[in-house]
Amino acid sequence: MNHKVRKSSFAESTYLMYIAFMINGIIGALYYTPFLAMIGHEGFYVYDSAYAIFSLFLDLSTSGIPVAMSMIVSEYNSLGMYASKEKAFKIGRYIILGFSIFSFLVLQFFARDIGYFYLPDITDSRTGERITDAIRVVSFSLLIIPMMALKRGYLQGHQLFVISSRSQLIEQMTRITVILTGAFVTIKVLGYSVYSGVLVSLWGVTISGLITYYYLTKKSSYNEELFIKEGEGERVERTRTIIRKIVVYCVIISIVSMSVSLYNIVNKKLILVALTNLNYPSEEIKIILNNAIGLIPKIGTIVISLSLAMTSSIAPHIAGNYARQDYKGVNDKLKQVVSIVLVIAVPMALGIILLAPQVYYVFFGISEYGPPILRIAIAFNVISCTTAVFSTALQSMNHGKHVCFYTILSILLNITMDIPLIYLLHNLGLPAYLGANVSNIIAELLLLVLQIRTLYAVVNFDYRRAFTIFRQIAMPLGVMAVVVLIMKAIIPVSLSFGRIKVLLLLLIYAVVGAGVYFALCYKTGALKLVFDEEMISSLMKRFRKEKNDEEN
């Protein structure tokens, strides 16, 4: 077996990571169907509440070091400071280990206080105890996941995205296998309670982290020659300087990441309070919260995967360009980000919006609240796809303070608007539970505007290119929408068909719609914007090699 890998260009690394994240997203959404059937909405409320707390403390324990490490490794590599790069990695391991142990202990000792934060008037004290137990179980993963993430950031800093993308799939597949198998055996075979099944399932995070860390370590050992340890006569950065560099990167990244995680927790509480005041039945509130906070984002991962991929791949590339003062290289990558979002993410989002009831049904079954929330949430995902990448780009160019300020500003605006917009929609006779989603879109648009202004000031980013690209995809988008609507009229998709048949029909819609869209994008020239010359050259070399192998 060939264990050797090679470095990837920005576009190639983006698509490698995108494929991995999208597969993860689809699998992650699909597994919720049997999982939800086993544990119900009550069990899922406990599971999702514990997972939200875990996400917040994962941000605390990693402290942004994995992303910072990819930037620092790329920067030092670009400057030929290889020994400094290795020194930074060792220092990062000590720092992240300390934060991991601290976060683990906090969750162990304060799990009960944190768990009772989720006790509204609509539930009893037993739910608080169940969330407490769930938090304690999932906290063990904080002892391994941050170390795994650091290793992944180190590899991404060397542009080894093949290993990174594969590790994403390994982690997700292992986690889901443990979750579903654990829940099934505990609840269906052994006959224990739903909440025992939830606790067993949460061990999937820790086990998947251990297996993925082992994979990353083995792959690193097979590719030692790619990690240049030292250069002839190079100057090694002082420990104090490296720590300061790590701290500067990490503080900003952590604040941004933790602010988002904290908002997700607060947002859940705000929706709960507002809908309770509007006299929504308690069971309906739980279903709405499970959809808005837990289930719908799983479908949104299909679009968000693009931003996750670009965020992972752009950090080391832009950090390297900026360190060499290659501002044209920075601009080219930012333009490619805009092109990828508009040409790839927008048609995906449009397709999901047009087929929201059917898409939701395939993943989670029939729901009164799911499709309306999905339509607005997916529109938000397209905007957040861009803001996430721009945030990482600005951090890679040492403008993290702007990112921090803009993110906190948009979150505060979001929090401020949540309850008023829920009440406003209620008074207008519209679904009140959509108010928080509308608030998300408004706040994210503000963040996008502020980011574009800063990018223009720093590297003279030409945001007007987006309008040119949109003109190139407008006609293909319109034709795609018409084709999908005609197909819905000719071959209607009834939810009474069953999930398998609905899924097959959706796949037909997707293939035909995507085929028409991309064919027209090729004619308008929009498709050429999402690939770089290095990636095209690499693909052509592989094609010629395979052709020669066949001839020989």
* Confidence at residue 543, expressed as pLDDT on a 0 to 100 scale: 46
* Confidence at residue 318, expressed as pLDDT on a 0 to 100 scale: 73
Residue 536 belongs to domain spanning: 465-552
Same structural domain for residues 283 and 254? yes
Distance of CA 234 to the CA centre of its chain: 38
Same structural domain for residues 389 and 527? no
Considering the domain boundaries, does residue 137 fall inside one?
A: yes
Residue 78 vs residue 210, higher pLDDT = 210
Nearest to 307 by CA among 337, 272, 339, 327: 337
Considering the domain boundaries, does residue 1 fall inside one?
A: no
The pLDDT tens digits for 169-204 are 888 889 889 999 999 999 999 988 888 999 999 998
pLDDT at 98 over 80: yes
Same structural domain for residues 470 and 394? no
Same structural domain for residues 73 and 53? yes
The pLDDT tens digits for 21-35 are 667 667 766 677 788
Last residue of a domain, one of 411, 441, 463: 463
- Let me know: does 400 contact 394? Beta carbons within 8 Å: yes
What is residue 428's DSSP assignment?
A: T
When mean pLDDT is compared across 360-374, 423-437, 526-540, the lowest value belongs to 526-540
Residue type, 2: N
Binned at pLDDT 50, 70 and 90, residue 302 comes out as: confident
- Let me know: does 59 contact 51? Beta carbons within 8 Å: no
Same structural domain for residues 453 and 498? no
Percent share of the chain, pLDDT over 70: 79
Report the C-alpha gap between 110 and 375 in whole angstroms: 38
Considering the domain boundaries, does residue 38 fall inside one?
A: yes
Same structural domain for residues 432 and 421? yes
pLDDT at 397 over 90: no
Considering the domain boundaries, does residue 104 fall inside one?
A: yes
pLDDT at 256 over 50: yes
Nearest to 491 by CA among 475, 507, 469, 514: 507
pLDDT at 321 over 60: yes
Q: How many domains does the chain have?
A: 2
Same structural domain for residues 245 and 187? yes
Same structural domain for residues 178 and 150? yes
Same structural domain for residues 64 and 145? yes
Same structural domain for residues 372 and 521? no
Nearest to 287 by CA among 364, 395, 175, 186: 364
pLDDT at 1 over 50: no
Last residue of a domain, one of 429, 445, 463: 463
The pLDDT tens digits for 352-365 are 999 988 888 888 88
Q: Is 424 helix (H, G, I), strand (E, B) or coil?
A: helix
Average of per-residue pLDDT across 517-539: 70
Same structural domain for residues 430 and 519? no
pLDDT at 529 over 60: yes
Binned at pLDDT 50, 70 and 90, residue 539 comes out as: very low
The pLDDT tens digits for 473-488 are 889 999 999 998 998 8
Helix, strand, coil % over all residues of the chain, rounded to 5: 85, 0, 15
Last residue of a domain, one of 423, 447, 463: 463
Report the C-alpha gap between 18 and 174 in whole angstroms: 19
* Confidence at residue 470, expressed as pLDDT on a 0 to 100 scale: 83
Cβ neighbors of 337 (< 8 A, separation 6 or more) are 310, 314, 386, 389, 390, 393
pLDDT at 472 over 90: no
Report the C-alpha gap between 492 and 511 in whole angstroms: 16
* Confidence at residue 449, expressed as pLDDT on a 0 to 100 scale: 92
Report the C-alpha gap between 239 and 141 in whole angstroms: 29
Considering the domain boundaries, does residue 4 fall inside one?
A: no
Same structural domain for residues 173 and 162? yes
Considering the domain boundaries, does residue 229 fall inside one?
A: no
Considering the domain boundaries, does residue 345 fall inside one?
A: yes
Residue 498 vs residue 507, higher pLDDT = 507
DSSP per-residue codes, 247-315: HHHHHHHHHHHHHHHHHHHHHHHHHHHHHHHTT--HHHHHHHHIIIIIIHHHHHHHHHHHHHHHHHHHH
When mean pLDDT is compared across 79-83, 229-233, 317-321, 374-378, the lowest value belongs to 229-233
Considering the domain boundaries, does residue 5 fall inside one?
A: no
